[in-house]
Structure 1
Amino acid sequence: MAKVGIFFGTDTGNSRKVAKTIHKQLGDLADKPFNVNKASIDDLLAYDVLIIGTPTYGEGELPGLTAGTSTESWEEFLPNLTGADLSGKTVALYGLGDQAGYPGNFVDALGMLYDAFADCGASFVGFTSTEGYDFTSSKAVMDDQFVGLVLDEDNQKELSDQRLQDWLKQIESSWA
């Protein structure tokens, strides 16, 4: 059985809430979620499967001090990935964004995480459809799909539970 780690960046707590929900639904398959501001590269390397979550801040920024978060987050952590070998690791991404407020850079931070982990050789699961969202541009879209689960707690909160359940079934089947 694959060893699953859940890592998230947050400031307001929405990404943490999703991480806790993922952990609850996966049960013993996953360890307790880590806030990335308390994690090391060795923490990530200890897992076969990584579930990685992030919100997008402002005009398409990763959460971090320059984006106005109160603590360090993905912006400060990503330099730790430089030179890391994540080949053989399976990564599933989830991102939170506001498609009405930021339609031109909707969930861009998700795309940035995808690029960073791809540069380290990770394999990805959990791509999802862009159908049902209303945005103009996103760095998280590849081949007409999002590179992971996308949740809009500001405008489509009522769809989040079903989207999350469907995504978890999809990604779990890839390593089960």
Structure 2
Amino acid sequence: MKQIGIFFGTETGTTRLVAKKLQKKLGDEIAAKPVNVNRIAPDEMLQYDAFILGTPSYGEGEIPGRNVGCLEANWAEFLAGMPAADFSGKRIAFFGLGAQERYSERFASSLFALYRVFKDLGAEIVGDWSTDGYTFQHSAAVVDGRFVGLVIDQRTQGMHTDERLDAWLAQVKPLLLEKLA
């Protein structure tokens, strides 16, 4: 497809809200309407060459799903239905949500679990993000001193969400658009 696909899992609706903000900032010409992964089959995702994938953090940093207490199907159920897909040639930027004060010892760690799955499937990952401005003890999503994707703490730093989305999109938009050419 000649648009950026935006897919997300959500438990409380906040990841959906951020996905919708990203799509609105990118515009209808560039980005497809965000889709909850509990509403699609994996082959629908594979139609895209450039993606933004979003996840809430849940459990101890596992991939969110019913097995870790989510009430609705989420990434775990979606991935269970996905065959050993080849994401070689596909480019993905990730965003994840977390609560740095409430879950300081595992802040946004589910983001790393999702990142690892798609990296292992051959995807090219773009859009790492600085840890500056966040206060937490540990996050599995930090690799080489940076988050593997944009991290949003809507609960305690919601006032920074729009500026972080804008700065991150300035970084990843040209990289994702290269895949649409």
| TM-score in same-fold range (> 0.5) | yes
Matched residue of 2:106: which SS?
Answer: coil
Paired residue for 2:113? Answer: 112
Paired residue for 1:66? Answer: 67
Paired residue for 1:129? Answer: 130
Tell me if 1:11 matches 2:4.
Answer: no
Aligned equivalents of 2:111, 2:16: Cα separation in 1? 15
Aligned equivalents of 1:122, 1:19: Cα separation in 2? 20
Please report the RMSD computed on the Cα atoms of aligned residues, expressed in angstroms: 1.4
Specify the code of the residue in structure 1 equivalent to 2:25: Q
Aligned equivalents of 1:79, 1:151: Cα separation in 2? 26
Q: Equivalent pairs: percent with the same residue?
A: 48
Paired residue for 2:158? Answer: 157
Paired residue for 1:75? Answer: 76
Matched residue of 1:92: which SS?
Answer: strand
Matched residue of 1:104: which SS?
Answer: helix
**Structure 2: gaps spanning 5 or more residues:** none
Tell me if 1:99 matches 2:105.
Answer: no
Aligned equivalents of 1:63, 1:80: Cα separation in 2? 14
> Number of residues paired by the alignment?
176
What displacement does 1:82 show? 4.7
1:59–1:102 contact (8 Å) kept in structure 2: no
Paired residue for 2:25? Answer: 25
Judged with a 3 Å threshold, the aligned counterparts in structure 2 of structure 1 residues 9 and 19 are, in CA distance, closer, same or farther, namely: same
Paired residue for 1:41? Answer: 42
**Structure 1: gaps spanning 5 or more residues:** none
Aligned equivalents of 2:149, 2:40: Cα separation in 1? 21
1:19–1:33 contact (8 Å) kept in structure 2: yes
Q: TM-score, normalised by structure 2?
A: 0.92
Specify the code of the residue in structure 2 equivalent to 1:9: G
Specify the code of the residue in structure 2 equivalent to 1:144: G
